[in-house]
Structure 1
Amino acid sequence: MHFIKNILFINFAILLLCIGCSQLKTDSTEIINSNVVMPTNEYSLGFNRIVFSVVNNEGSEAKKPLTVSVKNVKTNKLNVVDPVFYKWPNKNGGFYVLNTIFDNEGSYFININDLTDSDFIYKKKINITDNELTPKLGEVIPVLNNKIITDTQNISEITSDSNPDHNFYQYKLSEALNNDKLVIVFFLSPNFCKTATCFPQLDVFKKLKLKYHDKIIFIHVEVYENPHLIKGNLNNTKISSVLNEWNIKSEPYTFLIDKNNYLFRKFQGYVSFEEIENYIVNLLNE
């Protein structure tokens, strides 16, 4: 429960920092709105999943009637996109997921407007290049030397989860592939997550495993090299070298791999049970 409270505290802190500056023009074209929180910071050519939330004056993340568009600065091509709202687990409010495609390199604007408030404007400029940090969608998933139970004498050395599911630490990625099953690889630190969304995210995968244990192999990668030595003091942390193999810079981060070893979807930040299950069902029905 304290993880959920941390989420509320973080959101409220963001609101406090921005009170009095509802809109701030950073240049003649970009408008920053303090009520919009958009943590996604990795963009690439092709399909993109962009997460954002709208924080109201009470500090909670509300569902509002929004219009969202994505504009290519060079071609002026404008795509209107319907964001999907997902609820946070065990708390009020939620977040939006914007699925869009960037078909060319260059600059784009993401525009968000509230249909009930003409003064509500958000306009963010992003740059798209072909230099993707993490593994690319549609390509064969690269190797990953993730730690498993047989690498250690105590599972607490490879996960900070106080109630770990041992099945999450049974397979090296190379062993999990070519088993005619989907594979989900997720990077997070259950007890030392800096965004307070890792424990709820872990709960999503435990529920998914109960439902799809015979169809999906789950692989958890702990963010820290030494979870058993942290003992509640983040000064003792050491980032796991495994994260460097896929250039993971934030948590949680989730990768859904199809039966042919191709990366089908990736999720920066929290992904709900409902959202990821939609993709799972589609892959299983192919």
Structure 2
Amino acid sequence: MPNHRFFLILIVSMLTIVIAGCGQPTTPPTPAALPIAPVIAASELVIGLNRLPFGLLQGGVPLNDPDLTLGVTLYYVGPDGDRTKPVATTQAVYRGQGLPVGLYVAYATFDRAGGWEAEITIPQPNGTQTNRIRLDVSERAFAPMVGDRAIPSRNLTAADVPSLDQLTSDPRPDPDFYRMTIADAINAGKPFVVSFATPGYCQTAVCAPNMAVLKQLKSEFGDQVNFIHVEVYPYPFGESFQKAKTVDAMKEWNLRTEPWTFLVDRQGIIQARYEGGITFAELRPAIAQLAAGQSINPTP
């Protein structure tokens, strides 16, 4: 699961720091002397507009600097390995508020499938550091794309179980997220947001923060937009997690990673999709546009 790589590195790094703290004190290298390595935190990129989330590792440790803005220049790399002239230039801005690790998000359009290269410029006190990372762009995504019809899954609701703790691993669930199926939401003719997440067993550690963002947005837009949470694993969650057994809706939506968040308009058409961590600052403008019936113009 490529988008998990950065967050798994985070977990390993945190454990390493804790273990090291139990032994003899060590003198860490000077942070400014360590190179910074960008990592793409998305499992799939496709032709068209894409959300590009990046993490940064410095000395193997995730960096969380809200003052950084990354320059991103995209090149197409032909079959012979030659780079084209720059196809697009954009910026990745900090989107780590409330998340366990820094995240930097850009939006960019790819006009063809194949190998691409992102040249990342990172401001540093002693100058600018430049890194290049490879990106693979496909004709078609595994997960539903913007413009696709939402899949009318009949996920379990509160009416199907004796209590919410058999429906979600969220320790503080909001009952409003479990009132309807995705099929119900499509038939209601009202915009909706659906999040596939597992707050108690999230491999990327961002599911619970994502749910906190969505609960805050529901308090503002709940009269105009329906909100649905689909737990990734069936009850009992821990046992299903160990067996990597996911709920039917995950299979129907062909989701191979978690979490995913989709914004769907009143006609049942997907208008935006977000893989991994989301923040209030990034999501609120999009949901305001969704509630107003406007085309979503995503911004980092």
Aligned to 2:13: 12
Aligned to 1:282: 289
Aligned to 2:39: 37
Post-superposition Cα deviations, 1:149-180, rounded to whole Å, max 9, x if no partner, equal 12222322211122211111111111112434
From 31, 52, 55, the equivalent of 1:53 is 55
C-alpha contact (below 8 Å) 1:71/1:78 kept by paired residues:
yes
- SS of the equivalent of 1:280 reads helix
- SS of the equivalent of 1:249 reads coil
- Greater displacement, 204-213 / 37-46: 37-46
Task: Give the drift of 1:253.
Answer: 0.8
- Greater displacement, 116-125 / 250-259: 116-125
Task: Give the drift of 1:42.
Answer: 1.0
**d(CA) in 2 for partners of 1:153, 1:48:** 40
Task: Give the drift of 1:215.
Answer: 0.8
- Greater displacement, 202-211 / 126-135: 126-135
**d(CA) in 1 for partners of 2:226, 2:253:** 19
Residue 174 to residue 239, structure 1, CA distance change in 2 (3 Å): closer
Aligned to 2:251: 244
Displacement over 4 Å in runs of 4+: 6-9, 13-16
Residue 213 to residue 130, structure 1, CA distance change in 2 (3 Å): same
Post-superposition Cα deviations, 1:228-253, rounded to whole Å, max 9, x if no partner, equal 6x38x953763223211111122211
User: Is 1:217 aligned with 2:220?
Assistant: no
Task: Give the drift of 1:182.
Answer: 1.6
Residue 236 to residue 278, structure 1, CA distance change in 2 (3 Å): same
Aligned to 1:94: 102
Task: Give the drift of 1:69.
Answer: 0.7
C-alpha contact (below 8 Å) 1:146/1:172 kept by paired residues:
yes
- Greater displacement, 240-249 / 111-120: 111-120
C-alpha contact (below 8 Å) 1:15/1:59 kept by paired residues:
no
**d(CA) in 2 for partners of 1:72, 1:90:** 32
- So what's the TM-score if we normalise by structure 1? 0.81
C-alpha contact (below 8 Å) 2:158/2:164 kept by paired residues:
yes
Task: Give the drift of 1:186.
Answer: 0.4
**Partner amino acid, structure 2, of 1:177:** I
From 77, 84, 88, the equivalent of 1:73 is 77
Aligned to 1:193: 202
**d(CA) in 1 for partners of 2:134, 2:9:** 27
**d(CA) in 2 for partners of 1:283, 1:225:** 30
Residue 128 to residue 40, structure 1, CA distance change in 2 (3 Å): same
User: Is 1:165 aligned with 2:168?
Assistant: no
Residue 242 to residue 142, structure 1, CA distance change in 2 (3 Å): closer
Residue 212 to residue 7, structure 1, CA distance change in 2 (3 Å): farther
Task: Give the drift of 1:90.
Answer: 7.4
**d(CA) in 2 for partners of 1:15, 1:72:** 38
Which segments of 5 or more consecutive residues in structure 1 lack a partner in the other structure?
1-5, 21-32
**Partner amino acid, structure 1, of 2:50:** N
Aligned to 2:113: 105
* Identity across the alignment (%): 26
- SS of the equivalent of 1:177 reads helix
Which segments of 5 or more consecutive residues in structure 2 lack a partner in the other structure?
1-6, 18-27, 30-34, 79-83, 295-300
Task: Give the drift of 1:14.
Answer: 9.5
- So what's the TM-score if we normalise by structure 2? 0.78
Aligned to 1:253: 260
Task: Give the drift of 1:35.
Answer: 2.8
Residue 11 to residue 200, structure 1, CA distance change in 2 (3 Å): farther
**Partner amino acid, structure 2, of 1:272:** T
**Partner amino acid, structure 1, of 2:227:** F
